[in-house]
Every structure is written in structure tokens, then in C-alpha cells.
Amino acid sequence: MTLTRRDFIRAMALKSAAVAAATLFPGISFAGWTPTDLPADSILWSKTPCRFCGTGCGLLVGVSGQRAVAVKGDPNCSVNKGLCCVKGYHSIQILYGNDRFTTAYVRKNGKMVPTPIEDALDIVASQMKASIEKNGKDSVSIYGSGQWSIPDGYTASKFFKGCIGTNNVEANARLCMASAVTGCLTTFGLDEPMGCYEDIDNADVFITWGNNMAEMHPVLFSRMLANRKSKTHVQIIDLTTRSTRSSLAADKSILFTPQSDLAIANAICYEIVNNNWVNQEFVANHVSFHKGKTNIGYGTEDHFQFTEKAETIDFDEFKAFLSDYTPELAEKISGVSAEDIKYLAALYADPDKRVTSFWTMGMNQHTRGTWINNLVYNIHLLTGKISTPGNSPFSLTGQPSACGTVREVGTLTHKLPHGVVMNEGDRKMAAKIWDVPETNIDPKPTFHTVEMFRALDRGDINFMWIQVTNPMVTMPNLKRYREGAQKEDRFIVVSEIYPTPTSDVADVILPSALWVEREGFFGNSERRTQHNAQLVPKPGEAMCNTWQLIQVARRMGFEKQFPWKEETYIEDIWNEYTKFHDNPKHRMASYKVLTERSGVQWPFVDGKETRWRYNGKYDPACQADTWDFYGKPDHKAWVWLRPYEPAAESPDREYPFWLNTGRVLEHWHTGSMTRRIPILHKAVPESYVEINPEDARSLGVVNGSKVKISSRRGSIVMKASINGRGNPPEGMVFVPFFDESYLINELTLDAFCPISKQPDYKKCAVKLERA
Amino acid sequence: MPIFSFLAYPEKNMKDQLIKDLSHMDYCEVKPSENQDVLILLTDTPDEETNKDLITTIKALKSLQSLSMTFGHTDV
């Protein structure tokens, strides 16, 4: 191509204007002006949400030619205001690992053979059809993720629930935030937090419940520290089962025995009630009291069933129930001194302090996860500290679109994009929008995640399509589920970007386009929807997960439901999906608005985002200028009577240690992306077991010694870490799960909260030996 | 045959109108920002007199708040 002098001068004129604009407005982008319009050595910056955790930091990705070459924080994004964590700053390197899947593979005679992707999609469609014909519609399933972009999850739900007619749709967010969902639903009648990250700038006291935000939500933790630095009275209280980096930064760290948070929360309520610290006016007008079933089990057996039955009670019955949870009695269960429990209660009750509670997996991965969510809400409701700036009970999510794709789209067996499959009105709405017969949508939920993998093991499910997640590392009691996936007559499809233990069990691997290689949307922890454009080309035959689903659906005869063109299908899907939420309680921003802004919070009504729900001063869905918990028929938030019940498995003479699992700052989930970023891999190259120094001394192990950890389900040998970044108390060990070389979930127990069906990865019993 | 580029700022809520006004003028090429209230204007006129008239016309637009030149070349 020849460039005339005139063309050159015109290009320079445009470039000069673009540079001036970028200087004034970092992150600015211009419609219809692609990187190819610019000289090859220039960098075009575009906004995108980060690919990793649920914080939803805004990034600016710099593209030169056709390659992402740089990352910086997006100063226009209110979430992070230009700051990123170490994962965010290195995020574009996940696109360029050497072992990226760029072609499809199909298992032939036991070996994975490269196959043209169109042929692989033919095989997927024919296998699904064959399984349905032979074993019925409920023999096929899809298992997705909170890393699914919103169009991925929406298309999966429409395809499986609307077209095929099976409710075998689940996502790994069941493993990370299902208890937060049921906590919200049981207390407020609607899902997702009422507050927003501006609470961090307004709170006087932060109480974190089993939550290591310094490593798991570092940008939000930095925002907390900034608030504390700017106002000398701000306090951070770390309520935890293991000392972490968050503990070091906190004003006070309080260690408690695993599972005893239930007793602590009730004891705090006891103190609030018995000291007459209850906000009487708020409680009288906006709260009602209820109790549910007790001794509800742990779900460790196949086909476990539980149905909650709520009874309305009065305040006196609630007060009488709390008499079992005096601070002194709670001290015996929790190991937390009565004095510290009283201190926490006084902080929550102080009328001059705004209090925000944060939690993530400590409360959600819990066999009474719904209950402990309810109990922390109880504290905020009794004191009226909710839905105002700085007063917020707030469950943070761990994945970039656990809220957007799983909680809002409803990619769980019982859910629809609006409402649940059990509700006739919700089914009618879905059938109308999806253009399918109402009878297609089955009114009965099928399997939640653990039970879905049990069904695969039993043979009740023969076909499973796994997208954007790595269950062969993350499922608890892993050995059973890996062996189940490898049985004869099972067909596993895996849409992935890199080889993982999950792609190892696949019969077909479909290469996925990743993050900014395709257009999409994420929804973060604070009800913020964020759009990303495609910024770089897809490698090889990699294909967007949404488009993979559409291609297979069309092959199975559902062309009418998936008519969209490849150039515009993401926008078309967004326009269709948002019909489900076209009401003041959940209205979402238009495609155009989302492409222009660094995220928009819903409800988005009359061009205005809603910062605090359920408060008429901020929420247009409220019927009055005060609190209105409109998710419940009585327009009140429900305080629940929930007792302490022990963990499914506790240390005993044979297995005397608690096993606690989790993440580290540098690696995200199973490490399939971050372990391919050289600097992050070098920082934490392998997993380890944290042991208390006293326990290490008793065992005769030192830092780096090999230790054999055994539970009733399996054993693993790994190196000891003593006085590392985390320090468990005596009688507990902690193992990060990012390293597929050490499958710690072969030891964990597949017990779950009977209400949320979320497994407990924080508590099972193990023994230690020198290896 | 002068070539100039500018950052053009619309009056409040008049970005779409400004894009329309400029797009309808001869010798003008417009590149609106997707995420900011600003647009790039490229003018490519046959002679200096036409350029002068064009700039005068542009400056009179009600939808325009201000115009900042970022590049200018007249000897083409």
C-alpha cells in the first residue's frame, strides 16, 4: 500500500488530535477508528473490566497493531480509580501463553487429535442429540462459570432450559457465592447487595468476617486503608480463623474456632438486645422475625433433599432464643473472649459509627452458609445500619461475573433470567422472550453442582459441557468426580484456553476466545455491569463461548431462537436479555450507555444509577422516602432465628487438624491463567501447607520440609510453610488450591449448606505426618 | 490546500447535534469519541480562503462550545 504525502499529513493531523484528546481524557476511544487507522507503532487504549476477581476494576488495555501490549488502571472507573492489583497489571499476558488452545481436539482411540472446529461442533451436536434420544433430555448438562461473560450464560440458559428443556444448568459460582444468594433471598427476598463500594469511603468501622481482603480483594482493601489514613478514627476489625496479611493491617484481629461465627453473631445480637441498643423505630417499621428448620444435615449423601419451612415469630421469642448465646457461652464455642464479643457488639451498636461488614468465602463456603449470612444481616437490621452510606452488610464475590452471569442471568438449575423455574409467571415470561413453547421449560429443578457431578458419576447424566471453569481441580471430594467423568458412556466437552486437569478428561476440547478477544459484559459485586469490546484478534480457530453455543444450538434445529449475525450478536443478546429486567427494581443500562461508560450500576432508572437499594432516598423502586424492603411481601427485612450447629466434619483423635483451603494474592483460582504469567508464577511457583510453628515443632518439620496430609478421602505430600504470609492457629493447616500439581480437593469433603447447596471448603479433618 | 485538526467541544447535551452539523459540511471529517464529550474534527480544504470561510462557519455553530487546534498544515 502506498501512502501519499497528503494521506500522511491527514493521518498526522488525526493522530495529533487523538494524542491531545488522550492526554486530556485518559482512556478515550473513538467510534469507528480502529487500530489499523493508526501507524503501526502507536498504542490505542481501550477500557475493559479486569478478567480476574469480582471487584470489577476498570482497566485500560493498550493495543499496538493486533497485540495487547500494556495495561493501566482506568481513572474513569469509580471502582478502582486508576489502581490495579498485581494480577490486573499483568493480565494481558494470559492471552499469550505458549500452550494456548488454538484448534479443537477430539478424542479418537484414546488420543486427542487436532480437528477443524466446525467438525468438532458437529460432533458435540450429534453427541447431545444421541444422548437425549437414548437417555432423555435430563441426560445432558452444562456447567459454566462466574467467568462466563453475560452473553455466554444467557445463551446457555436459553439453549438448555428454553430449547432442550432441561434444567441441568449450573455454574461454579455455586461453589463460591450460593450462600450469599440464599442469604439475600431469605432476608430481603431479592438477591445482591444493597450497598456499593462508596460504603468503603463512608464507613467508620469495617468488620471483616473470615475474609482476607488484603490478598483476595486488594484494591478494595487499599480503599479501606486510604479511608483509615484520611480519618484517624476509622477502624478495621479482622474476625478470622487464621492470621493473614489482612490481620496484620487491621486495628484488631480476633481469631475464632471454625464454624463458631454462628455463635459469635448471635452473641453480638444478644448484647445489642440486652443492652437496649436495638434501633426500635427501624425494627418496628422495617423488620419482621422468623425461624426455620434446625438440625438440617450436611448433604454428604446422594439425593439429599431439604425444604425450608419458615414460621413467623415475635421479638420476644427471638430474645428468648438469644439467651443461649450470652458472650460467655459463645466464648466457650468460639474461643473468642466475652470481652471481645462485647466490644464487637458495642461497635455495631454505636449510634455515631457507620459500620460496614465484608465477607466472601469464609461465610459462604460453610455448611450453614445461608444461616451465617442471615445472622450478619440480623446485626445490621437490629441496629438499623443498612442501606445508607457507610452502613452496609456486603458479600464480595470472587469471580468477575458471578453476579452478572450467574446471579442475574440465573445460570443455576432452579433459576431463570427473571425468577425461578418453579414459578408459572416466570416461565411464561421466559417462554415469550425466548420464543419457545411454555411447556419447554421444566418447572422442576434438577441437580445443583455437587449433585450434578454425582449424577455424572452415577450415570444419570451422560453428557456434560464444561465452559470457562476447571472442576477437576475445584470439586470437593475430587477423586470421586474425576473418576465419574472418565467412566464409559460419559461424553465431556470442555471449552478452554489452556490445558487443565479438566481438559484432560475431555472427549472434545473447543478452543475459546478469551476476554478482550471477544465482546462481552461482566457484572461485579456492587451491581455494576461492565462492557468490553473485542480489542485483539482471536488466535487460530478460537471461538467465543457464546458463538460456540449458538453454533451447536443451530445444528440441533434451534435456528429460530438463535438468528443473530456474528457482527452484532452480543448487542442483540443484550437487548433481548434486558427485557427480563425491565422494571424499576432491576432495570439495566442500554448497550450504548454501557459501551460509553466504565460500568453502570443497576437499577438504572431514568438515566440514574442506584447506589443504595431499599432506601427511598436513593432507590427509585421504593414506595416511600424511607426504607422499603420491597423484595418481601410484607415490605420488611426478615430477621432469622438461626442457631449454632457444628461443622460436618471436625478434628478428632484420628484426624486432629482442621484443613482450610483458599487463594493467594498472585494466583487466581486454579492458576490456569496466572501460572502462565511468568512474574506471578515466579512469585509463588507452587502450593504449600501453612502450619502453625508449635505444630511444626511437635511434628519435627521445618520450613520447606515435606509433609503428608491425609483426610478420610485422600492424601497429598507438599512442602511446609511456617510463619509465611499466613499463620493458622494450632490445630489448623491451610493449603492454597491454585496449583494443579497438588490437588488438595482430593482431601476436602463434599458437604454443603442444605439451603444454598454451596460446599464447605474451609472445614474438614486431616492428619499430618512427616513425609 | 490546508489540512487542520481540532478537538471540538459541544455545548451541554449537544454532542449529537454537533456531530450532525459538522458531518453535513463540505471539507469536514468527524471522529466522535465513544466515551467523552469531545470529537476530533479534520478539515481538508482546497485553498486558504475556503478554509477561512469554513472555520468562520464552524465557529458560528450553536452546538459548538469551543474549538482547539491540534495540527495545522497549509503547504500541501
- For the stretch B8-27, pLDDT in tens is 999 999 999 999 999 999 99
How many helices and strands in chain B, by DSSP H and E?
Answer: 2, 4
Which residues, at least 6 apart from A657, have a Cβ–Cβ distance to it below 8 Å? A651, A695, A731, A732, A733, A765, A766, A767, A768
Fold classification of A657-748 is Barwin-like endoglucanases (2.40.40)
Cα–Cα distance for residue pair A721/A243, rounded to 1 Å: 14
Alpha carbon of B44: minimum distance to chain A alpha carbons (Å): 8
Q: For residue A291, what is the enclosing H or E element?
A: strand A287-291
Burial of B25 (C-beta count, 10 Å sphere; 0-12/13-18/19+): middle
ipTM for the predicted complex: 0.96
- Asked if A33 is an interface residue toward chain B (Cβ–Cβ < 8 A), one would say yes
Q: CATH number of A104-174+401-563: 3.40.50.800, 3.40.50.740, 3.40.50.300, 2.40.10.220? A: 3.40.50.740
Cβ–Cβ gap A25/B7 under 8 Å: no
* φ, ψ (nearest 5 deg) of residue B67: -135, 120
Active site annotation includes A12: no
Region A592-613: what's the mean pLDDT? 96
> Residue A739: what residue type?
D
A761, A662, A610: which is closest to A216 by C-alpha? A662
Region A193-206: what's the mean pLDDT? 98
Percent of chain A residues past pLDDT 90, beyond the cut: 94
Region A48-60: what's the mean pLDDT? 97
Is residue A35 pLDDT above 60, yes or no? no
Q: How many CB atoms lie within 10 A of CB A317?
A: 14
Q: For residue A551, what is the enclosing H or E element?
A: helix A545-555
Active site annotation includes A399: yes
Alpha carbon of A75: minimum distance to chain B alpha carbons (Å): 13
Question: What sign for the dihedral angle of Cα A687, A693, A698, A702?
Answer: positive
Region B64-70: what's the mean pLDDT? 94
Alpha carbon of B57: minimum distance to chain A alpha carbons (Å): 21
B4 strand-pairing partners: B43, B72
pLDDT in tens, A127-152: 999 999 999 999 999 999 999 999 99
Q: How confident is the model at residue A11 (pLDDT cuts 50, 70, 90)?
A: confident
- Mutate which of A6, A16, A519 to test chain B, going by most B C-beta atoms within 10 A? A16
- Asked if A32 is an interface residue toward chain B (Cβ–Cβ < 8 A), one would say yes
Region A652-657: what's the mean pLDDT? 98
> Residue A244: what residue type?
T
- Asked if B40 is an interface residue toward chain A (Cβ–Cβ < 8 A), one would say yes
First to last CA, chain B: 5
Cβ–Cβ gap B35/A596 under 8 Å: yes
- The position carrying cell 447447596 is A757
Buried/exposed A692-731: b ≥16 CB within 10 Å, e otherwise: beebbeeeebeeebebebbbebbebebbbbbeebbbbbee
Q: How many CB atoms lie within 10 A of CB A489?
A: 10
CATH of segment(s) A5-96: 3.30.200.210
pLDDT in tens, A113-127: 999 999 999 999 999
Residue A603 preceded by cis peptide, ω within 30: yes
Tell me which residue in A13, A20, A76 faces B4 most closely, judged by beta carbons.
Answer: A13
Region A748-766: what's the mean pLDDT? 98
First to last CA, chain A: 66
Is residue A39 pLDDT above 70, yes or no? no
Burial of A102 (C-beta count, 10 Å sphere; 0-12/13-18/19+): middle
Contact (CB, 8 A) for A574 and A409? no
A230, A366, A357, A362: which is closest to A299 by C-alpha? A366
Q: What are the residue boundaries of the structural domains of chain A, listed by start?
A: 5-96, 104-174+401-563, 178-297+308-396+629-641, 657-748
- Asked if A17 is an interface residue toward chain B (Cβ–Cβ < 8 A), one would say yes
Query: Which grid coordinates belong to A540?
Result: 487460530
Mean pLDDT of chain A, nearest integer: 96
Fold classification of A178-297+308-396+629-641 is Dimethylsulfoxide Reductase; domain 2 (3.40.228)
**pLDDT for position A36:** 46
**A:B CB pairs within 8 Å:** 78
Cα–Cα distance for residue pair A767/A67, rounded to 1 Å: 49
- Asked if B49 is an interface residue toward chain A (Cβ–Cβ < 8 A), one would say no
**What are the percentages of helix, strand and coil residues in chain A, rounded to 5?**
35, 20, 45
Active site annotation includes A398: yes
- The position carrying cell 461485579 is A524
Contact (CB, 8 A) for A602 and A259? no
Catalytic choice (A153, A398, A410, A599): A398
Contact (CB, 8 A) for A666 and A679? no
Alpha carbon of B75: minimum distance to chain A alpha carbons (Å): 10
pLDDT in tens, A263-303: 999 999 999 999 999 999 999 999 999 999 999 999 999 99
At A570 the three-state DSSP class reads: helix
Q: How confident is the model at residue A6 (pLDDT cuts 50, 70, 90)?
A: confident
Helix H segments across A136-279?
150-157, 178-188, 198-202, 213-216, 218-230, 245-249, 261-274
Cβ–Cβ gap A17/B36 under 8 Å: no
Domains in chain B, ordered, with CATH? 3-73 (3.30.70.920)
- In this structure, the dihedral spanned by the alpha carbons of residues A386, A389, A394 and A397, taken in order and rounded to 10 degrees, is 150
Cβ–Cβ gap A30/B73 under 8 Å: no
Q: How many CB atoms lie within 10 A of CB A436?
A: 20
- The position carrying cell 445490621 is A380
What residues of chain A lie within 8 A of the CB of B35, using their CB? 25, 27-29, 47, 76, 595-598
pLDDT in tens, A163-175: 999 999 999 999 9
**pLDDT for position A32:** 59
